[in-house]
């Protein structure tokens, strides 16, 4: 299995499309960092307007944590678009190239092959999120320095400097679960077709449709909302609340993990039964 995963990763990282997400996140993060470097203090002043008159503010609020939090908020909703580029190609790419015939006439079972594909997809998500963490949090801390974190939600919360890092780590960890769900959806679509475009478009269509459904203020659709996986993708944000609702976080994580398990099982079943005609 280790050999198969290693081979899958070699194939994955030899493909240009694998680097689209990494380059896109890198570029966007740098653009956001540069623009905030010049205009970010105005944002802080705008958000703190009215408070500064009542409270004595000590320390640097315009720091790496603040920048990183902004980048996380701005980028995390777009990462699904980037991960499906790779996920959609994992199986369909083999069908398009005709390499299933070479791969599946080796002494490896189809279950091993599909499991290696899923593990590779998961590793790609981890690499992407780690990269985002490094470039947004790591680089921002170097450029903008450290300090307390200003978090604006239903109210304004300022986290002490020693109370921040674990929140980021938990948020990135949750983002890995969310994006793994997304990439697994693209892999199931990828197992059904012979062209990577279909799975990419289909996965994005599912996410967009589910997001629209959960946003429509109709009782019936609001009743459906807890059952739509898209409702649970953004729970990472909970880690930047004053009081974290752990029950809600664990329930959402559980629902996403259940999705991951079911998607893997169904894809494995489809793949094992599939006739290779390409």
Partner 1 sequence: MNSEQVIEVRGLTKKFGSLTAVNNLDLNVYRGDVFGFLGPNGAGKSTTIRMLLSLIKPTSGEMKIFGKSIEKDRKEIFPKIGAIVEKPDFYLYLSAYKNLEILGKLSGADVSKKKIMSMLEMVGLDKRYKSKVKTFSHGMKQRLGLAQALIHDPELIILDEPTTGLDPQGMKEIRDLIIYLSREKGKTIFLSSHILHEVELISTRMIIINKGTTQVEGTVEELLASDKVKVTFEVDRVEEALGIINETSWQKEFKSTSKNEINFELAKEEIPALNKFLIEKGFSVSAIVPVRSLEDYFLKITEGGLK
256, 99 in Cβ contact below 8 A?
no
- Counting contacts by CB under 8 A, is residue 141 touching partner 1? no
- Interface residue with partner 1 among 1, 15, 160, 257 (CB under 8 A) is 15
For 43, residues 6+ apart whose C-beta sits below 8 A from its C-beta are: 36
Q: Distance between alpha carbon 132 and the CA centroid of its chain, in Å?
A: 10
207, 214 in Cβ contact below 8 A?
no
Region 16-55 residues binding partner 1, contact defined as CB under 8 A: 16
- 236: nearest Cα among 16, 69, 90: 69
Q: With respect to partner 1, which residue has the nearer C-beta, 9 or 157?
A: 9
For 228, residues 6+ apart whose C-beta sits below 8 A from its C-beta are: 210, 213, 214
- Interface residue with partner 1 among 46, 49, 247, 273 (CB under 8 A) is 273
**Cα dihedral sign, 103-105-108-114:** positive
Site track 230-269 with partner 1 (rule: CB under 8 A), x = hit:
----------------------------------------
Q: With respect to partner 1, which residue has the nearer C-beta, 70 or 192?
A: 192
Q: With respect to partner 1, which residue has the nearer C-beta, 23 or 205?
A: 23
Cα–Cα distance for residue pair 118/91, rounded to 1 Å: 10
Using the structure block, give the residue that is written with the tokens 């029950």. 247
Total chain residues near partner 1 (CB under 8 A): 25
- Interface residue with partner 1 among 22, 127, 165, 276 (CB under 8 A) is 276
CB of 263 to partner 1, least distance (A): 23
Region 102-131 residues binding partner 1, contact defined as CB under 8 A: 102-109
3-state DSSP call for residue 151?
strand
Region 66-105 residues binding partner 1, contact defined as CB under 8 A: 97-105
Residues that bind partner 1 (CB under 8 A): 3-4, 7, 10-11, 14-16, 97-109, 273, 275-277
């Amino acid at each position: 299995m280790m050999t198969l995963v290693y081979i899958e990763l070699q194939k994955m990282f030899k493909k240009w499309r694998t680097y689209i997400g990494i380059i896109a996140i890198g570029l966007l993060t740098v653009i956001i960092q540069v623009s905030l470097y010049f205009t970010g203090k105005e944002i802080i002043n705008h958000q703190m307007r009215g408070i500064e008159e009542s409270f004595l503010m000590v320390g640097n609020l315009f720091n790496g944590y603040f920048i990183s939090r902004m980048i996380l908020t701005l980028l995390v909703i777009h990462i699904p678009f980037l991960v499906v580029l790779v996920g959609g190609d994992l199986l369909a790419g083999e069908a398009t190239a005709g390499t299933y015939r070479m791969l599946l006439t080796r002494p490896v079972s189809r279950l091993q092959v599909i499991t290696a594909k899923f593990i590779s997809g998961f590793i790609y998500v981890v690499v992407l999120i780690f990269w985002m963490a490094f470039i947004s949090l790591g680089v921002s801390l170097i450029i903008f320095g450290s300090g307390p974190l200003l978090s604006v939600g239903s109210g304004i919360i300022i986290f002490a400097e020693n109370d921040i890092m674990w929140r980021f780590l938990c948020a990135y960890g949750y983002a890995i679960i969310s994006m793994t769900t997304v990439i697994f959806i693209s892999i199931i679509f990828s197992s059904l077709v012979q062209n990577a475009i279909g799975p990419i478009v289909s996965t994005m269509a599912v996410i967009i449709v589910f997001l629209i459904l959960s946003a429509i203020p109709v009782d019936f659709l609001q009743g459906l909302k807890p059952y739509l996986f898209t409702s649970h993708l953004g729970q990472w944000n909970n880690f930047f609340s004053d009081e974290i609702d752990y029950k809600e976080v664990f329930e959402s994580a559980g629902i996403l993990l259940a999705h991951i398990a079911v998607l893997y099982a169904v894809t494995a079943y489809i793949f094992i039964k599939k006739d290779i005609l390409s």
